[in-house]
Structure 1
């Protein structure tokens, strides 16, 4: 395991989350976008050097935090799609979580204007009101697909998203 790389991923994930708290509280996402861009450029370099930072390379926490950085690479959709392909291979090899794959799959699909598969992505109005699920393909089988990826039922997730 690469402990130095895991530590840097952790530092960047903490910055990511802090910037999201500021953006949520102030409705100003400029710092969040700056950190996302820096983290994306850094993660591209890590992937070029090491491949996908999965459990074997950076441990379970590092793998989770690397996924988080890829999940928030919205300003680089081509890279995000590349990360998705690498994550698929990592999940197939047992080196990453199916849950991570579900979230990144949905994120990439929604960014491309397509319906999501696992119902993980929500949107709201600019003032933070009107939280709603982004469109989902085949909603009648949503919970079946979610369960296959280790996700809770959609109704439970919806309640959690709404803070209930």
Structure 2
């Protein structure tokens, strides 16, 4: 024993979220599809277990960085749509309690809707065109009110986001 105190459970959770986020980003940065699938499966299983044991990671416990890491792990849990839906339900409740970020809820809402074949609400999910040289947003529900919905959750106007997504 080195005499150092054991990390507080919230600190340990934040550290594990940070580690798993780094693995997620490393696989994606390398464009290593098999590694991405493996990391996503491992992270999804771990996040499911962590959420079952202690609920959605709260801002008060893991901070903004940890909350972002938790959201991203759920965002990349596409192979388990049932868990993504549960994560969205828990994240939505955490946003209502001031313990999660509304923009994370918006991004996960769009991901869940697109994965279920529904139009997205916030215009955050894009797909590659068949020629793979360009991206386009998945269908958007009520596009006339898109920027109003985006502003309500702290997202930039869609035209700005769209330019960035298209590499402009």
TM-score by length of 2: 0.92
Point out 4+ residue stretches in structure 1 off by more than 6 angstroms.
none
CA contact (8 A) 2:125 2:137 kept: yes
Q: How many residues align?
A: 160
The yes-or-no answer on 1:46 pairing with 2:50 is yes
- Is 1:30 aligned to residue 34 of structure 2? yes
Asked if 2 retains the 8 angstrom alpha-carbon contact of 1:3 and 1:58, the reply is: yes
> Which residue does the alignment assign to 1:116?
120
What per-residue deviation string (whole Å, max 9, x for no partner) do you get for residues 13-47 of structure 1?
Answer: 01111111122xxxx51110110000000000000
Partner of 1:84: 88
Tell me what 1:17 maps to. 25
Which of 68, 71, 75 is equivalent to 2:72? 68
How far the C-alpha of 1:127 sits from its partner, in A, is 5.9
Give unpaired runs (5+ residues) of structure 1.
none
Output the TM-score relative to the length of structure 1: 0.94
Aligned position for 1:106: 110
- Work out the CA distance in 2 between the residues paired with 1:127 and 1:33: 23
Aligned match of 1:135: 139
Structure 2: 5+ residue runs without aligned partners?
1-7
- Please tell me whether Structure 1 or Structure 2 has the larger radius of gyration of its CA atoms: 2
| RMSD (CA atoms) | 1.2
Task: Provide the rounded CA distance (Å) in 2 between the counterparts of 1:124 and 1:60.
Answer: 30
1:124 and 1:132 in contact (8 A); partners too: yes
Q: 1:126 to 1:37 in 2, by over 3 A?
A: farther
